[in-house]
Amino acid sequence: MPTNLPPEYFSAEERYKQASTPREKIERLEELISTIPKHKGTDKLRADLRRRLSRLKESADKGKRTGKHESTFHIEKEGAGRVILVGLPNVGKSSLLTRLTNASPAISEAPFTSWTPTPGMMEWEHVQIQLIDTPPLNREHMESEQFDLIRSADLLLLLVDLQSDAMQQLEDARDILLEHGIPIRCQKNIDQISAGKAYIPVLVVINKYDDPSFSEDVQLFHELSQCDWHTVTISSLSGNLLEELKVQIFQELNIIRVYSKPPGKPPDHTAPFVLKKGSTVEELAGKVHKDFLNTLKSARVWGTGVHDGQQVARDHVLHDGDIVELHT
């Protein structure tokens, strides 16, 4: 230990020793180093403390990086929309994800089979949609990160099991989501947007409709329902009505497919541009190429509400399936 260290050094050293978090340690070590006068006698001490500081910074960085990536609830958004499957245990969430995507989460009769979310991609008419299976909603133990993930959805698929008490499952699942502040609302005749708050749309999936013998139960479910969420009845087991479900998912996402074509050529139907419902020619142009936003002079549209090849203005609102020729 070099002699002639100032008194500030010793009080800074005391503060450094008491630091508890990695961040505090780094700050106080920096402070400590700054109290050391620079001369030959302190060279070794300063070098030692600097080395300690860089080790602290390194491990703090690593912690940050792995902390983020290790969380299985952190999933990058992909595709034209994010659809999250939620519901009580055993309603068939994992089975449905397996049916609709190439993902393969564990499926079992035992409740609480899945503890981590599993993402997969569903393709529908050349549109890629992200589907995420999640651990079951319950009142015993749930990670708060799961609710953060649920909040990031563009659409929730709320699954219920038609072969047990489906209505009770719907109500329990809805209540758990509401208790954790998920912005959903099921009352009839209320807009999805109110007081500036955006609600996440919910599509109720009545699963385990294995054959028509269950149709009375479906009817009863509809009679009892207090919510105006749309419903789709399917069987993940038999694959019954899965196409209808895909169509409904697309509709609930409020997106449209638009095809751009060069003059004199047909459009590429396998490469739709996906836009929010209500988007204009101008917004399409920006998606096709950002330069088009400035250079776009006019456009011709084939599709809904126009006669074939009609010339339209930049603010013309497009519809699902429209074909657009952009002129620059």
Ligand X SMILES: Nc1nc2c(ncn2[C@@H]2O[C@H](COP(=O)(O)OP(=O)(O)O)[C@@H](O)[C@H]2O)c(=O)[nH]1
State which of residues 89, 267, 286, 303 lies at the interface with ligand X (CB under 6 A): 89
Query: Nearest approach, Cβ of 206 to Mg ion (angstroms)?
Result: 17
Neighbours of 108 (CB within 10 A): 11
**Per-residue b or e along 240-275, where b marks 16 or more CB atoms closer than 10 Å to that residue's CB:** bbbeebbebbbebbebbbbbbbeeeeebeeeebbbb
- Side chain identity, residue 327: H
State which of residues 114, 231, 240, 279 lies at the interface with Mg ion (CB under 5 A): 114
Query: Nearest approach, Cβ of 108 to Mg ion (angstroms)?
Result: 8
Q: Which is nearer to ligand X, 3 or 213 (CB)?
A: 213
Which residue do the tokens 């699902």 mark? 320
State which of residues 94, 118, 236, 279 lies at the interface with Mg ion (CB under 5 A): 94
Alpha-helical regions (H) of the chain = 7-18, 22-34, 43-70, 93-100, 144-151, 166-179, 215-224, 242-252, 281-288, 292-295
Using DSSP's 3-state secondary structure scheme, residue 276 falls into strand
Q: Which residues inside 107-166 make contact with ligand X, applying CB under 6 A?
A: 107-109, 113-114, 136
Cβ-proximal residue to Mg ion, closest one: 94
In angstroms, rounded to a whole number, what is the distance separating the alpha carbons of residues 306 and 290? 26
Query: Nearest approach, Cβ of 77 to Mg ion (angstroms)?
Result: 22
Query: Nearest approach, Cβ of 238 to ligand X (angstroms)?
Result: 7
State which of residues 32, 83, 91, 122 lies at the interface with ligand X (CB under 6 A): 91
- Side chain identity, residue 146: Q
190 touches which of ligand X, Mg ion, none (CB within 5 to 8 A by kind)? Answer: none
Q: Which residues inside 195-224 make contact with Mg ion, applying CB under 5 A?
A: none
Nearest to 306 by CA among 265, 273, 274, 258: 258
42 touches which of Mg ion, ligand X, none (CB within 5 to 8 A by kind)? Answer: none
DSSP 203: E
Q: Where along the sequence are the contacts to ligand X (CB under 6 A)?
A: 87, 89-95, 107-109, 113-114, 136, 207-208, 210, 235-237
